[in-house]
A and B are shown apart, each in its own frame.
Chain A
């Protein structure tokens, strides 16, 4: 016999049937029917945040750490608009998410009713798709489609706007959850074209100065293993984008580090001088390419991506392959193995060894210093905090970050050797992402070590969530690189605006972070002496603090800049490597004037 359920019950039951274990949200008038249906069951847990933006970032962190869509529930009007930043963040980084928003009852839509916002309209530019429920009977199918769309192809957030009358507990409908979906207008690519695969393999085989440039698509597409395999087979250098860190094991000799605006010298030099770039799950973002006109002049571009619109959008591809990364790499590896078996000498070993020599020279000349010694004269340098974090966590932590200098230091100095361990807002660059996304990760992996590398500016954008951490016992380790400034903004002002720090400092008005953390019932530690760093970091991750949220406030050198830094309008090999390098550049510019 088919069960009779109300719209609200159908919605929650559909989530159960979809395998959802947790929903992040915040209630309000238009969502109360749904909240009541939520209350009357146990399978789906609801976690109450303190601000809807945080709910979306939690769902996002959950999704990035697991690969499963994160789910959000908010009310209409302000609840829905508060969620927008988090939806946009997920959209820019192609993160699967389903956001259910309450809506005023259908008969009131369009009348400027209390807490009415056109959520479908407001969210349209930042969602993969959206639905508005017109009749309660549609709910199971809409939920099914929403998850299907969010999870497949190039993943992304999907909004379901639910008018209150469609979830009225007074009505009941026969419930069944569809087993499959078919949409004639949505058929994401399953596998690459075999002709293109062969062309790609040929291009790689004849390359003399190759680079593999791998992005977040490799992580989203669960293709890290294949990436590592193909890179090892060919002995090609690999660089990862900010979103791709962890896709290839960072400690590996073949790894050049991150590329782009704050990428390593060797990665950017290799990209610029390459004769073949194999881009996979990456989209030639402007933070990677610098000036596209001057991008890698000699390279043949092989571009593999699940989204056809990413291919030849910025940089024309010589060999485009539209496919999920994993299946295409499987096919490429198979073809490659056959070719190499037939004629191993097609690979130009001499050219490759020369190429590696050049890369090693770049490394020696301009690579990052991964062993900065603590000295008592200088203040703690932010890079050293990340090095210490890496040492103490053995490289095994999930690390989320906010946006700013601290984010770049974390990306540069924590060596991620597994996918889904590095979680940050790359595309939108959303300050306030760090803490709630860490919470989402911790919910997904209750026993994992989760660290949030943040800056005091970013942290203050969502610090209310320390209360949520208390409620649900989320033992996040917050590492605050406190430079008493909007450091990244200040750095740009130092470098491009004659050091005029327009609205980028607030030193005298910062809170006592230790007292703040303690007031939420957590542990706070503050250090400013270099010699205190190793012990403090140990204490943060000590057994005694295993189940506690610990806030480590590290007073760092406020004058530190992130280097290397791309020179605006230049090619990828145009970088400022250090403060002296920068002073020289400014001097030359002034001399020229």
Chain B
């Protein structure tokens, strides 16, 4: 099962490498990972998605918590949460396809952020499934290049993750 974890981490050199090292060492997989400092400069916030059953996720959470620089770990999967990913996708846009790409982008509330005679670069945001659906809709043959940020997320409502 796919899981999404949020981690607060001391913003110190080497801290991220411990997280990556832990996953490699214990044979856990990382499907996606995003990290950046938060409004508090001393903290980084990391969102990662991984695969595993309840027991595995419990171990991953506990092992993450054992890392000295990890301040907090929450499994967002089963709580009410918002998840967003950003994708920039460069697609072939020639002739009739040009109009088609534009229409599909509109349907997905994507924005065309760069234009050449032969290509559009579209920015799409949303949960992973929506971005996957966009790629399917646009048709594999027109896709030239894709970059995705990996999921980020937080709990809905008043619940917050702080130190």
Which residues of A are interface residues toward B (Cβ below 8 A)? 120-121, 124-125, 128-130, 132, 149, 183-186, 307-309, 312-313, 316
Beyond A129-B68, A185-B70, list 4 extra A-B contacts (CB 8 Å). Answer: A124-B17, A149-B68, A184-B71, A184-B163
Task: Tell me if B69 and A307 are in contact (CB < 8 A).
Answer: no
A128 surroundings in chain B (CB, below 8 A): 68
Task: Tell me if A308 and B17 are in contact (CB < 8 A).
Answer: no
Task: Tell me if B68 and A125 are in contact (CB < 8 A).
Answer: no
A183 to B68, CA, bound (A): 9
Task: Tell me if A307 and B14 are in contact (CB < 8 A).
Answer: no
- Report if A309-B14 is in contact (Cβ < 8 Å); known contacts: A129-B68, A186-B68: no
- Report if A312-B55 is in contact (Cβ < 8 Å); known contacts: A129-B68, A184-B71: yes
A308 to B66, CA, bound (A): 9
A-facing residues in B105-163 (Cβ within 8 Å)? 163
A154 nearest in chain B by CB position: B66
In the complex, B62 has a CB within 8 A of chain A: yes
A308 surroundings in chain B (CB, below 8 A): 62, 65
B70 surroundings in chain A (CB, below 8 A): 185
Which residues of B are interface residues toward A (Cβ below 8 A)? 10, 14, 17-18, 21, 25, 55, 58-59, 62-63, 65-66, 68-71, 163
* A284 → B minimal CB distance (Å): 13
Task: Tell me if B10 and A185 are in contact (CB < 8 A).
Answer: yes
A122 to B58, CA, bound (A): 27
B72 nearest in chain A by CB position: A185
A185 surroundings in chain B (CB, below 8 A): 10, 68-71
Cross-chain contact of B18 among A124, A307, A312 (Cβ < 8 A): A124
A132 surroundings in chain B (CB, below 8 A): 14
B18 surroundings in chain A (CB, below 8 A): 124
- Report if A125-B21 is in contact (Cβ < 8 Å); known contacts: A184-B163, A309-B66: yes
A391 to B21, CA, bound (A): 48
What are 14 of the A-B contact pairs (CB < 8 Å)? A120-B14, A124-B17, A124-B18, A128-B68, A129-B68, A132-B14, A149-B68, A183-B68, A185-B71, A307-B66, A309-B63, A309-B65, A309-B66, A316-B55
A307 nearest in chain B by CB position: B66
B63 surroundings in chain A (CB, below 8 A): 309
Which of the listed residues A124, A128, A132 has the most CB atoms from chain B within 10 Å of its own CB? A124
A19 to B121, CA, bound (A): 64
B21 surroundings in chain A (CB, below 8 A): 124-125
B66 surroundings in chain A (CB, below 8 A): 307, 309
A444 to B60, CA, bound (A): 38
B24 nearest in chain A by CB position: A125
* B11 → A minimal CB distance (Å): 11
A149 to B66, CA, bound (A): 11
* A561 → B minimal CB distance (Å): 34
A186 surroundings in chain B (CB, below 8 A): 68
B163 surroundings in chain A (CB, below 8 A): 184
B58 surroundings in chain A (CB, below 8 A): 312
A313 to B55, CA, bound (A): 8
A124 to B10, CA, bound (A): 17
A132 to B66, CA, bound (A): 19
A145 nearest in chain B by CB position: B68
Task: Tell me if A121 and B59 are in contact (CB < 8 A).
Answer: no
A130 surroundings in chain B (CB, below 8 A): 14
A121 surroundings in chain B (CB, below 8 A): 17
B21 nearest in chain A by CB position: A124
B63 nearest in chain A by CB position: A309
* A122 → B minimal CB distance (Å): 11
B55 surroundings in chain A (CB, below 8 A): 312, 316
Which of the listed residues A149, A184, A312 has the most CB atoms from chain B within 10 Å of its own CB? A184
A307 surroundings in chain B (CB, below 8 A): 66
B8 nearest in chain A by CB position: A185
A158 nearest in chain B by CB position: B68
Which of the listed residues A120, A184, A185, A307 has the most CB atoms from chain B within 10 Å of its own CB? A185
* B111 → A minimal CB distance (Å): 39
A590 to B60, CA, bound (A): 44
A183 to B17, CA, bound (A): 20
A185 to B9, CA, bound (A): 8
* A106 → B minimal CB distance (Å): 12
